Amino acid sequence: MNIQPEMKIYAAPLVEGHLPPQVGTVDHLEGVNFIKLKRANTFDGQAHWIPTEWVTRVEGNAIYLNQTQTEFHRNKLYKTPVSLTGL
């Protein structure tokens, strides 16, 4: 998987064949297991992380997730993942 800064992140569409909603932009990859999102693209202006296991594919400048928009907002991480802090 070649995840790069500034890639657009799209949630899984609710209805097959519809365009997926954009839910964020990559700030950078943290380790091999997490993607940090750009704060400028979040509703609350805070840092958020998502696991790379959510990524179903990378195409061009876009990342597609296996989470719907609702699941994405419910399940994204609001703190630095424990595996990155060494705790």
Q: What is the pLDDT along the chain (87 residues), one digit of tens a residue?
A: 799 999 999 999 887 878 899 999 999 999 889 999 998 877 788 889 999 999 999 999 999 999 999 999 999 998 888 765 554
> Pairing mode, if any, of strands 8-12 and 34-37?
unpaired
Q: What is the pLDDT of residue 85?
A: 55
Cα–Cα distance for residue pair 16/13, rounded to 1 Å: 7
Count H helices and E strands in the chain, helices first: 2, 6
Alpha carbon of 77 to those of 43, 51, 55, 60, 70: distances in Å?
A: 14, 9, 15, 25, 14
Tell me which DSSP letter residue 2 carries.
-
CA distance linking residue 60 with residue 44, whole number of Å: 28
pTM (predicted TM-score): 0.87
Nearest to 8 by CA among 77, 18, 21: 21
Domain ranges of the chain: 8-85
